[in-house]
């Protein structure tokens, strides 16, 4: 069993192990040369070349064979082998180490790319685990457990209280309140009755439901989410395509110039062949893009480490670069801009009644309820130090509220009642609902004694966080939510958001992100739920809440705010912008230095040791420059 586990582990991280082994071998090879054990050093460095350069050689030759294109992988192998041959020719074995270091850099890059591919696979697996594997189907009046894949259109599925709904379906029998937050992002459970549609992956409340399967499980909402995430994560961004084209163009130019330098000088400049080959090999070493590649990755890794210290987790360096270019940011509402938990925000008693009396009777009836509104009322009563009497004959009325008796008198807590009440209470209710709050009426016998307003409150830091984004020059901020327009409007006005998109399903959120990208190019999505996963994956940068975020959101996102603090978002943008400035500085320096080394080589003012020193020295300098982001 241990051998099987180790075998799977090795297969999973082959590229990372190859890079690590290559690095160890390079160090041991250098130590052997230091102690003049040249024979052992050659053996060890040969192993480093083979282990570290295998994947790059395979990819380079594959690209050459299938696409008839040269890329940096093949150029790296040519430069490394050139350095090795020159080292053997001149008995200067330290030149072989130079080639080995070049191979090591590309091996590390390959390991990072492999990790990114495996992350996509984990994203899809997490989504698939959201829904149950089986469903309880009724055939000929008897219950039978079958797999989701066996479900057919027209099957009757039984869902008991508190269970996860296994597939999309229409309610044939039963009433309940369904927690749809994982799928649609709605902060309050939605009342469902006969004829309503429910979604796979949502949580049934207290009712017993019989559902009719009206479409194949492969067409369910959660399955569409899975496909959207797959498509979004396999689309290469334009910047990545540009880098790939640049690498191949660079490789072609260097190889072309190398061939010219290795053949024409004897005929044009009168060089002897030994000098020509020597200059060509120096050219391959100094033109190797080590400094150019090192201009980017150490900077991004340093920025990632800096972000981690501040509670900002970047899953890869590319996202640090991208977040510094953002022009627009879209936010989910529930759990991102708001707390994601209902609270009592207002209690308005009728004349001759007190706030405590209204809260006391409401808590008495709601004490046995598992509904989020009831839990909010109980929490408010507890925090206010209000004690409530026991209630009897409690009965939930789906879609209307809950009723019971206190000291033999009927008490109702729920939606607007068909009982006369004062104009003041009606006006207060209208005002509260207009502001996006949910109003619960409380009546004693046939008299309305007051109303209670509950809402998902805005996070304390949200307003300042959004204001700081405006100061950073973010052109547009938008809110994407499954909640109703009225609630969304209230939150948006409070936070001064530029755009509002309400009553959205996951695919609708993805469509909004796509539209924003057409207008602003670089767009971030900030969210925490399953319903945000496609938008998180498709956005230029996906940002998830680390504490409240679902597993799917955390996997789909590129950046995680570990403390759920939105103020960290502006810090991440500033860090990304600083990283981009340093990268530009490094690239300018690296290309300029390569150009100077090439000129020195053509004029004969540089030998191989100086070429190697210049090549490695420029690489070290840009790495040290990138490490500035650690400060």
Q: Where are the domains of the chain?
A: 134-219, 339-457
Share of the chain residues as helix, strand and coil, in percent rounded to the nearest 5: 55, 20, 25
Q: What are residue 396's DSSP bridge partners?
A: 402
* Fold held by 339-457: Calcium-transporting ATPase, cytoplasmic domain N (3.40.1110)
Fold equal for 134-219 and 339-457:
no
Instruction: Pick the closest to residue 285 from 72, 75, 586, 599 (CA basis).
Output: 75
Mind giving me the DSSP string for 53-119?
HHHHHHHHHHHHHHH----HHHHHHHHHHHHHHHHHHHT-THHHHHHHHHHHHHHHHHHHHHHHHHH
Going across the sheet that includes 523-527, the strands are: 312-314, 559-561, 541-545, 523-527, 328-332, 476-480, 499-501
pTM of the predicted model as reported, rounded to 2 decimal places: 0.66
d(CA 426, CA 428): 5
* Fold held by 134-219: 2.70.150
Return averaged pLDDT per consecutive 10 residues of the chain, 631 residues in all.
42 73 90 88 91 81 74 70 77 78 72 57 56 83 85 90 87 86 65 86 85 81 60 48 64 79 84 77 75 75 79 79 92 86 89 91 85 87 90 78 88 77 86 83 88 88 92 93 82 90 87 93 88 86 78 76 85 92 89 87 74 74 83 76
pLDDT value, residue 116: 46
pLDDT value, residue 8: 45
Q: Do residues 14 and 64 lie in contact, with contact meaning Cβ atoms separated by under 8 Å?
A: no
Q: Do residues 148 and 134 lie in contact, with contact meaning Cβ atoms separated by under 8 Å?
A: yes
Q: Which residues are catalytic?
A: 332
Cβ contacts of 416 within 8 Å, gap of 6 or more: 429, 439, 441
Instruction: Pick the closest to residue 134 from 170, 154, 163 (CA basis).
Output: 163
pLDDT value, residue 432: 86
pLDDT value, residue 238: 46
């Amino acid at each position: 069993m241990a051998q099987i586990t180790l075998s799977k582990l090795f297969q999973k991280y082959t590229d990372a192990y190859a890079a690590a082994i290559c690095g160890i071998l390079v160090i041991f090879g250098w130590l052997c040369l230091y102690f003049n054990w040249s024979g052992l050093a050659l053996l060890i460095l040969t192993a480093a070349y083979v282990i570290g350069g295998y994947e790059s050689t395979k990819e380079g030759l594959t690209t050459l064979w299938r696409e008839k294109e040269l890329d940096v992988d093949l150029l790296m192998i040519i430069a490394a082998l050139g350095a090795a041959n020159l080292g053997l020719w001149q008995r200067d074995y330290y030149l072989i180490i130079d080639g080995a270091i070049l191979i090591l850099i590309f091996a590390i890059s390959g390991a990072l790319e492999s990790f990114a591919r495996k992350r996509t696979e984990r994203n899809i697996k997490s989504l698939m685990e959201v829904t149950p594997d089986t469903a309880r189907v009724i055939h000929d009046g008897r219950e039978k457990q079958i797999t989701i894949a066996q479900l057919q259109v027209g099957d009757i599925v039984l869902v008991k209280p508190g269970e996860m709904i296994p597939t999309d379906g229409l309610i044939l029998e039963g009433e309940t309140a369904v927690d749809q937050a994982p799928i649609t992002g709605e902060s309050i459970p939605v009342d469902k009755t006969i004829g309503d549609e429910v979604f796979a992956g949502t949580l049934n409340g207290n009712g017993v439901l019989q559902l009719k399967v009206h479409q194949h499980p492969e067409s369910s909402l959660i399955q569409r989410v899975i496909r959207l995430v797959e498509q979004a994560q396999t689309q290469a961004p334009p910047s990545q395509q540009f880098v790939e084209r640049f690498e191949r163009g660079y490789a072609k130019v260097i190889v072309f110039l190398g061939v010219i330098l290795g053949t024409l000088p004897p005929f044009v400049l009168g060089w002897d062949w030994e000098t020509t080959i020597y200059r060509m090999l120096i050219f391959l070493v100094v033109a190797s893009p080590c400094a150019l590649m090192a201009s980017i990755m150490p900077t991004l890794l340093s920025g990632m480490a800096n972000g981690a210290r501040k509670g900002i987790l970047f899953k890869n360096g590319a996202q640090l670069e991208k977040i510094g270019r953002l022009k627009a940011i879209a936010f989910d509402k529930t759990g991102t801009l708001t707390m994601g938990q209902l609270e009592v925000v207002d209690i308005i008693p009728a004349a001759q009644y007190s706030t405590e009396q209204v809260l006391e009777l409401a808590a008495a009836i709601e004490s046995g309820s598992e509904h989020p509104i009831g839990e909010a009322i109980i929490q408010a009563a507890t925090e206010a130090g209000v004690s409530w009497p026991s209630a009897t004959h409690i009965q939930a009325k789906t879609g209307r509220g809950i009723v019971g008796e206190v000291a033999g008198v009927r008490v109702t807590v729920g939606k607007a009642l068909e009982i006369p009440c004062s104009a003041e209470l009606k006006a207060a209710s209208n005002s509260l609902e207009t502001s996006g709050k949910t109003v619960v009426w409380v009546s004693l016998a046939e008299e309305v004694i007051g109303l209670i307003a509950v809402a998902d409150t805005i996070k304390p830091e949200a307003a300042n966080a959004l204001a700081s984004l405006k100061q950073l020059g973010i052109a547009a901020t938008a809110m994407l939510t499954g909640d109703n327009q009225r609630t969304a409007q209230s939150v948006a006005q409070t936070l001064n958001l530029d755009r509002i998109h309400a009553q959205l399903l996951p695919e609708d959120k993805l469509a909004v992100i796509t539209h924003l990208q057409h207008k602003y190019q670089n767009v971030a999505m900030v969210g925490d739920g399953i319903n945000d996963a496609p938008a998180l994956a498709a956005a230029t940068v996906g940002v998830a809440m680390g504490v409240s975020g679902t597993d799917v959101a955390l996997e789909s996102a590129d950046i995680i705010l570990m403390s759920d603090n939105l103020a960290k978002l502006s810090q991440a943008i500033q860090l990304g912008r600083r990283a981009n400035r340093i990268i530009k500085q490094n690239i300018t320096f690296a290309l300029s230095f390569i150009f100077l080394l090439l000129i020195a080589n053509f004029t004969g003012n540089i030998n191989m040791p100086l070429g190697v020193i210049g090549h490695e020295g420029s690489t070290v300098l840009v790495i040290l420059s990138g490490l500035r982001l650690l400060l």
